[in-house]
Amino acid sequence: MYKQFTHVKSSTSSANILFFSRASSVNDCRTLEKSPHSALLRSRRETMNSHEPNSMLRCTPKHKLLIVIMVICVSGWALFCFLQGATGWFDYSDPMFETEWSGQCGRNVTGETAVPVRDSEAFLMSAFLDERVAAGTLRVIGVAHRTSLQRLYCHVCTGTKVFTSPTQVLLHSDHFGFPYTTADFLCQVPKKAGQALAVSITTQRLPDPADSFLQIHDTARPASMAPLPRQFSVCISTLFGNYSNILQFVQSMEMYRILGAEKVFVYKTDCSPLLQKFLDHYSSQGLLEVVAWDVGRHLRMSNSYKPSLGPGDLHYHGQIAALNDCIYRNMASSTYVVLLDMDEVIVPRMHHSWVDMMAFLSLHHLDVASFTFENSVFRYDVSGDGGRFDIWPTVPGVNILRHVHREPLRPYVFNACKLVLNPRAVVWTSVHNTLWQHGATLRVPSSVARLHHYRSPDDILVQRSQLVRDTTLWKYSSPLIRNVNHTLSQVLRPSGA
């Protein structure tokens, strides 16, 4: 066996001592110990160790075991502290009890999106029966203050009876430093309750018939395992700031339709009167569902992703809460959910539709719960069509067919992604990635598809000469132009025509 030696000079003697490293064989060590010089070597070794600065770094098996135990204890304590910081007060010793009401409980089902919890810094958006982990679990999606959690109670309505139990509050980790964050309020529905119809959450242990109740939606897939009603649903969050980018909105909607989307969900805070006409048009066709996103009535919404750029109570108009709400809305009805902004389109390169693209990806990646597509910025300020697609000069907004120059991807830095995911495998999502899912994540190569993001320059250091010309979108130009022309003629035609 190859022997490696370490040459050490003793501090108490001018003699040199050779020590075998761990590469030396056991037999060689035993031979050395039996040699006539073994006593001298042991004496010199003890003398050197007593003066060697690094001698304390040598650990016996007992010391190593103690170190492992200390690491486990510290890690466990850190995990405990994290969970305490992310979880509200849930007292299992407080038993569930039942209340009989003379009238129909839950009659005050609210039509509001954001329902404030009285005497609390929490707001509720939607309620879903989610039994993927445990039977009888009711998940209410909302937002809550990160440092002002109180004891809350769930009041689950099943006709003339109300079942009350303590609420577990789970705060999502992606809050970006804002005071409020997306939260899950978990309740339990007992087996004997029957069908849960509505729920209210209060700081009071006793239910109040005057409280606002949320309708409960079931996320369970039908037992027949029949095909889901839709293959692709798109979640757009959020329209705000009197949104008026008409042409790009119509082009995006028609691209989603061409690529295979059967339903688009838009969370609207406000928009221009003209855009509202297009929202009404697509809603009447059944392609669009508009969710009135009124969180801003209760909280100060930020216009940015971090407080230093846009002060407020909640990240970017409550975008993360809206995305989570949209996933649960589609859990029982859509094979895939696509999370996008209104200025983004996932454009296949190897295939012509999302249907073919996802069939290809799923065939090779059966265990994947979420597919991420890296962001490519196509600049507004550069036109590359030579006027070929300057077709709608009088329609306000950006014409995405004209902008075919993208910034090169930056290596070794974070590039934002958007997602196509299986909603039944996802518990929590953020904007660019999921936070809690059952399954793997696949970063889709740009050779398969690319996320087209039409916007102002992102990397101002990139000169125009460094932009990459990419005309992939033009393969959809014929159906896109036809669909856009049809929609514009339907919505903008003179009244009475």
For the record, the structure tokens of 111 come out as 């039509």
How far from chain centre, in Å, is Cα 172?
10
Task: State how far the Cα of 362 lies from the Cα of 376, in Å rounded to an integer.
Answer: 23
Residue 197: partners with Cβ closer than 8 Å, 6 or more residues away: 105, 106, 157, 158, 159, 215, 216
Residues lower than pLDDT 50 in the chain = 1-41, 44-57, 80-81, 83-93
- Are the CB atoms for 369 and 452 separated by under 8 Å? no
- Are the CB atoms for 125 and 321 separated by under 8 Å? yes
Q: Which structural domains are found in the chain, ordered by start?
A: 97-218 (no CATH), 231-492 (3.90.550)
Neighbours of 108 (CB within 10 A): 14
**What pLDDT is stored for residue 72 in this prediction?**
77
Task: State how far the Cα of 402 lies from the Cα of 363, in Å rounded to an integer.
Answer: 35
Q: Any idea how long the chain is?
A: 497
Residue where the block lists tokens 């590469």: 23
**What pLDDT is stored for residue 13 in this prediction?**
37
Nearest alpha carbon to residue 188 among 130, 111, 120: 130
Nearest alpha carbon to residue 203 among 170, 166, 171, 172: 166
Task: State how far the Cα of 144 lies from the Cα of 121, in Å rounded to an integer.
Answer: 6
Single-letter amino acid, residue 305: Y
Task: State how far the Cα of 41 lies from the Cα of 429, in Å rounded to an integer.
Answer: 64
Instruction: Name the phi and psi angles at 447, rounded to 5.
Output: -70, -20
Which parts of 209-302 fold into alpha helices (H)? 246-259, 273-285
Strands 214-218, 198-202: parallel, antiparallel or unpaired by DSSP? antiparallel
Single-letter amino acid, residue 430: S
- Are the CB atoms for 335 and 261 separated by under 8 Å? no
Neighbours of 429 (CB within 10 A): 26
For the record, the structure tokens of 93 come out as 């010793």
Paired residues of 161 in beta bridges: 100
